[in-house]
Every structure is written in structure tokens, then in C-alpha cells.
Amino acid sequence: MRLGRFFGFGGRLCFDGLDVVVVLEKSAVFQQGAFFSLSMKLHLPNHPTQIYLIRHGEVAERYHKVFGGSRIDMELSALGQRQAEAAKMWLGDTKLDAIYASPMRRVRQTLAPAAEARGMTPMFLDGLREVDFGDWTGHRWDEVQSIFGVSAFDWLEIIENDGIPHGEPVEEIKSRVGACAQQILAGHPHQRVAVFCHGGIIRVMLALLLDMPLMRMAHFNIEYGSISVVEVQPEKKHAVEIELLNFQPPLPV
């Protein structure tokens, strides 16, 4: 089941009247937050590498609208467990060459149905852990305004400007996520890979792939249990394309 192509590089996106032009050289992907020339371009066939970015399911109710990040190891709610089953069912018999994942509990619980059904062992990468929200950790979104004097809805912009007290520096976030993406792309040229992780990390990975500021990822909604598909084919003019964005598979009955 596919919802169709979202956009290709070199194209124009419109978000509520905002035009965003994105351009990426066909020989580039990122390394440690910067871009590097792809040696893998020499041996890629005509079909791309596909990366399925899957956000974990809904977390337990006591964590709703709470900044947990990498410091609070949340578990899934009953709905989150159903979303994990929905992801497994939607993936169906789609061939996956590898599964990568954050080691955090909510992600492990989300990927378990799909991995067990396939008999696959995920590769857990610490670099895929959620962002460390520093002093915001454990606070509700509405509390961030009253305690820290900023709107939590601007969280991506605040992270990009290193504005969270004792939070993870943005360059460290980009470096670790970029290293994970490089490892995945280098290890699986022209293959299909699932990456189970977090809403913040999916946005960081998209920002790196699209060569866009992290704050612009606020235009991309990444819901609990959603699936986004990115295709990378460096020899094409449009080297990176989003094939699916924030798709939530139907819940099992």
C-alpha cells in the first residue's frame, strides 16, 4: 500500500503559503552532520536504497505531553501496542534486509511484533536514542512556558539554537544521527531497511537528508506509530525522495 510520491529534490514544497526550495547534489549524502561524496555510487544498480522510518507507538498515559527524551525509558500504552501490531501487519511480506533501532523500551516494544514475525534480529544503535531534553525532562509542555519562559511548540527551533538548559547540543545530535544514517546507507546500498526510532530522531534524519534546517522539520508531523519512507539513489539528479510521510497504518480490529 503506497500513498504516492511526496516530492523530489530540486522541487518546491509549500507549507501554508511558505515556499521551501530544496536542492541536493546527486553525489552527496551526509557524514557526521556534513555531506560527503558517495563512493557507493559506483556500485549501486538502478534501484534505490529504501529507508522505512518508523516512530514508536503511543506511550503510557502518564507520559502524554511530557518531555521524556533519552532520560525517561517509557513503555507503550495499550494503543501503542496496537500500533506496533498495525506496523507489523502493514509491512506484511515486504522484504526487509535489516532492522535498525533505538535501544529504548518504547522502541523495542514497537518493533517486537515485526521482528518476531520475520525471525529477524534488530541492530540497536545508541545514536538512534531520542534527544536529551536536559532540564525540560519530566516537565509537561504547558509547564515549559511557565518555568522556562518559552513555548514548547518551538522545541525544534530551540534545540537548533541550543536553547534548552543542559540539553544535548544540536551538533552532537546531528553527529550521532548522521553517523547512524551513514552506517545504514553504506551497509545496505540498493536494499530496504527499517529504522524504528523516535519522532525527534526521524526529524533530525530528514533534516540531514534534505539538507534543511532542523526547525523546518516542524512542518512535518510525525505521529505515534507512523511510517515514512525515504529513497536514496545518489546517481539520480533527485538523489533523495520522500515516498511516504507520516502514514499511520490502520489499527487491527
Q: All domains of the chain, ordered by start, with CATH?
A: 7-247 (3.40.50.1240)
In sign, the C-alpha dihedral spanning 14, 20, 21, 26 is negative
Phi-psi region of 129 (alpha: psi -120 to 50; beta: other; left: phi over 0): beta
What is the structure's pLDDT at 45? 53
Q: Determine contact, residues 168/132, Cβ cutoff 8 Å.
A: yes
What is the structure's pLDDT at 37? 33
Q: Which residues of the chain have pLDDT under 50?
A: 1-44
pLDDT of 89-125, one tens digit each?
999 999 999 999 999 999 999 999 999 999 999 999 9
Cα–Cα dist 253/250, whole Å: 9
pTM here is 0.83
Report strand pairing: 123-124 vs 98-101. parallel
pLDDT of 3-31, one tens digit each?
333 333 333 333 333 333 333 333 333 33
Chain Cα centroid distance, residue 233: 19
What is the structure's pLDDT at 127? 98
